Chain A
Amino acid sequence: MNNEEEKTLKNNAFKVWAVFATSIGLVMLGILLVKIGMDGMHRLSLQFFTSLPSRRAEDAGIFTAWVGTLWIMGTTALIAIPIGIGAGIYLEEYSKKGWWSNFLEINISNLAGVPSIIYGLLGLEVFVRLLHMGESILAGSFTLALLILPIVIVSTRESIKAVPKTLREASYALGASKWQTISMQVLPAASGGVMTGIILALSRAIGETAPLIVVGALTYVPFTPKSVFDSFTVLPIQIFNWVSRPQAEFLVNAAAGIIVLVVITIVMNGSAVLLRNRWQKNVKW
């Protein structure tokens, strides 16, 4: 076998492996979706969205769960977005390169890899107990905000880095200050990438269960929260609760809940991808 033939063979073998590896993921996802769809599709009705949890499966719904999820997501976003963008701007534009910025950078990357249950324990100690937030939406949101901050910070930095130097120079050359240049040129130009990062971060947070259970989210909440100081449940916890019941009817509810959660996640990720594509097209000036 000569060298050329060997190369093509290796090339083809690799191609087959790559296609196989990709398909495994897709096929598994497909099977899961079909199975869940068959199990839970017929359970999706207006009643399912508007009913409180109940001991009788056919009466139970996800009302408190999705309202809780909305509260948690909204509050998490309010906390994580300004802090994450601020930190990203600081690290990229203001911090002097040196051991301190390297230290921060390494730690932020590491944080992204910490298991979420650890964030839960941190949240329990700091927010629930130390800061006396109790087992509230606020404590849960702060915990999730910590969890997604690394994603927001890193994506903010990357998008700022992608803004061409010529744009800054044009702004400085007209007498703009550093802050004017950042706020009026760099951030708007980076906004597509920043938004994409935020959506991806939130779509990570929406499926998190473990840290919220640790900070005391309830599995049975017969009321919707009125403020951030109320206790709460969220969709994934409601699903978890149903799955762990012995009665088969609750599994149907769980499947229906999963469909709702999956649709939300797909919509969020899809819009992130759309946004990123549009932004990448625009960013080439």
Chain B
Amino acid sequence: MAEKCEVVSQTGMEIAIIEKKMETRIEKQHRIIGAEFMPDENLSTKGNVMNKIETKNVQCWYGDFHVLRDVSISVEPNTVTALIGPSGCGKSTYLRVFNRMNDLIDGFKLEGDVLIDGKDIYDKNIRVNELRKNVGMVFQKPNPFPKSIFENVAYGLRVNGVTDKKLIADTVERSLKQAAVWNEVKDNLHKNALGLSGGQQQRLCIARAIAVQPSVILMDEATSALDPISTGKIEDLIADLKKDYTILIVTHNMQQALRVSDKTAFFFLGDMIEYNDTKEIFNNPQHEHTRNYVGGRFG
């Protein structure tokens, strides 16, 4: 086709060919964004595919420190699951199991099965970068990049090889709208994101996470650094995002767990003590530790 381009001198023809090339390139990039994170179709499917997420007897260690024991949970798609429990009981560690962020820590070890869409994400054929695109994360303290608002949201696309300007601009706009922050930033897209308020920064971080079209979103105490109004906005947002994503949140705020989550898991000193419908956990807890915790007696 390159040769043909040189021979044909009519500009119209050339443009048509170039356009055709562009189209195929853009199509490819579209596929990049929506890409499956599994490189190998033949990977065994171990779990119940009705469950979005499933862990079986997951155990974790930091060096010799046994931080999680035998955690087994299954999560249905398009639900919000809250992880609650006293500080230091392993909630963050468990959350970071799903995007393998713990892999960055020296001495971390995991046993058991962690399945997303029925596939073992700790299988050696898994590409961790692809997994992390599929499983987005929002952190406790808003952590936008010290770049423009636009570049913050575009970053995930850029590192995944998307170069098409229009596609990037459209995705940025759509993500910011979905994260309910578009109206506040649309006139300042090229200003530094660090100039935004804490609540805006956190919604920007949500937009950044959803720009790469994950199917799961992890939020680790994402509202604990925010004022009540910003917190309310993010809770509304979670309820809205549930339509498209499966969401796991860690929270110390019992009211928040009650308001936004469908299911709740209670952690205590490395054990997952109780996992049930949120209403059950709060109204009719089965274990004494759970009862004490949701009753506000420790934590």
Contact = CB atoms under 8 A, between A and B. Distances in A.
Co-assembled chains A and B: yes
Interface of A: 164, 166-177, 180, 184-185, 188-189, 282, 285
A175 B104 contact: no
B145 A167 contact: yes
B261 to A, nearest CB: 22
B137 interface: yes
Contacts of A189: 146
Given A169-B139, A184-B155, A184-B159, A175 B133 contact: yes
Contact of A282 (B99, B146, B205): B146
A164 B145 CA distance: 11
Given A166-B139, A169-B139, A176 B129 contact: yes
Contacts of B130: 175
A285 B132 contact: no
B99 A173 contact: yes
A171 B205 CA distance: 11
B199 to A, nearest CB: 16
Contacts of A184: 155, 158-159
A170 B146 CA distance: 11
A169 B158 CA distance: 17
Contact of A174 (B104, B133, B146): B133
29 contacts: A167-B143, A169-B101, A170-B144, A170-B145, A170-B208, A171-B145, A171-B155, A171-B159, A172-B104, A172-B132, A173-B101, A173-B132, A173-B136, A173-B209, A174-B156, A174-B208, A175-B129, A175-B130, A175-B131, A175-B156, A175-B212, A176-B155, A177-B129, A184-B158, A184-B159, A185-B145, A282-B146, A285-B144, A285-B146
Q: Nearest 6 pairs between A and B by C-beta?
A: A175-B133, A174-B156, A166-B143, A176-B159, A173-B137, A175-B132
Interface of B: 99, 101, 104, 129-133, 136-137, 139, 141, 143-146, 155-156, 158-160, 194, 205, 208-209, 212
A124 B108 CA distance: 50
A138 to B, nearest CB: 39
B212 A174 contact: yes
B72 to A, nearest CB: 25
Nearest to B218: A173
Contacts of B99: 173
B141 A166 contact: yes
B129 to A, nearest CB: 5
A229 B16 CA distance: 53
A164 B156 CA distance: 19
A174 B139 contact: no
A280 to B, nearest CB: 13
Given A171-B155, A173-B101, 9 more contacts: A166-B141, A170-B143, A173-B99, A173-B137, A175-B132, A175-B133, A177-B129, A185-B145, A285-B194
A171 B143 CA distance: 10
Contacts of A180: 159
Given A166-B139, A169-B101, A170-B205, A175 B146 contact: no
A165 B132 CA distance: 17
Nearest to A282: B146
Nearest to A163: B146
Contacts of B146: 167, 188-189, 282, 285
Contacts of B139: 166, 169-170, 173
B226 to A, nearest CB: 16
A174 B101 contact: no
A180 B130 CA distance: 14
B134 to A, nearest CB: 8
